Copies of this chain bind each other. A is one copy, B any other.
Amino acid sequence: MEPVAIPATARRRRKAERPAELLAAALEEFACRGYAAARLDDIARRAGVSKGTVFLYYRNKQALFRAVIETAVLPHLAAGEALVAKDDAEPEPLMRALFAGYWRVLGDPQLSGIPKLVMAEAGNFPEIAAYYHEQVVMRGRALFAEIYRRGVARGVFREADPALMCQLALSPLLFVCVWRSSLGGCEAGGVDPDRFVAEHVDMFLRGLMQGTPERSSS
């Protein structure tokens, strides 16, 4: 009950940097192991602290995970919302910019770990799933829906079920983000994700627009 004296090792002391270090370590471990399989112990070691220290900053594993989402994903959503809020752009370039924004997260080998693992383990962790769905999925979709609505209003995009279009638009990006850290690891030189996504965006927009847009040079 009363622990023995601790050999006075060199303990680092940096309250300010800790959360960031912890978050980075957690992101990495969560991303490559998944939520359930990630061990707090490994996260701690990677961050250069002891197991107990993690609990000084986050109440438990789930809280840590939420914090990872908050710092890694939410800012990108905010950026997307800012983008869309600027009213002036043409629908098509705006849509392309939105795709670029999505891809900034979903295409980043590091960040894409988050959506991947949420999809992977949502079934076993309903609270996390609900949180992510509300904070990320819904907001992410709203961006698309808004731009699409404007495009339809201006007669640039053909009219269709927005939810369906959204899914068609995003599913390949989400697929890549899942694939990359799963079976993608089994193939040496597969399809280049960037090229894949570029191709998808072109095809998708061609299918979406009334007239025929120029294909972006590749």
Q: Which residues of A are at the interface with B, using a C-beta cutoff of 8 A?
A: 1-2, 32-34, 36-37, 60-61, 118-124, 126, 129-130, 132-134, 137, 161, 163-164, 167-168, 171-172, 174-176, 178-179, 181-183, 185-187, 190-191, 195-196, 199-200, 203-204, 206-207
List of B residues within 8 angstroms of A60 by Cβ: 2
Q: A172 is contacted by which of B118, B171, B195 (Cβ under 8 Å)?
A: B171
Q: Is the interface of A mostly helix, strand, loop or mixed?
A: helix
Alpha-carbon distance between A168 and B183 when the two chains are bound, in angstroms? 16
**A176→B171 contact, CB < 8 A:** yes
Number of copies of chain A assembled together: 4
**B118→A182 contact, CB < 8 A:** yes
**A119→B178 contact, CB < 8 A:** yes
**A186→B36 contact, CB < 8 A:** no
A66: min CB distance to chain B, Å: 15
Alpha-carbon distance between A164 and B123 when the two chains are bound, in angstroms? 31
A147: min CB distance to chain B, Å: 18
For residue A203, which residue of chain B has the nearest CB?
B207
Alpha-carbon distance between A82 and B187 when the two chains are bound, in angstroms? 26
Quick one: given A119-B183, A186-B133, are A171 and B164 in contact (CB under 8 Å)?
A: no
Alpha-carbon distance between A145 and B112 when the two chains are bound, in angstroms? 28
Quick one: given A182-B122, A183-B119, are A168 and B200 in contact (CB under 8 Å)?
A: yes
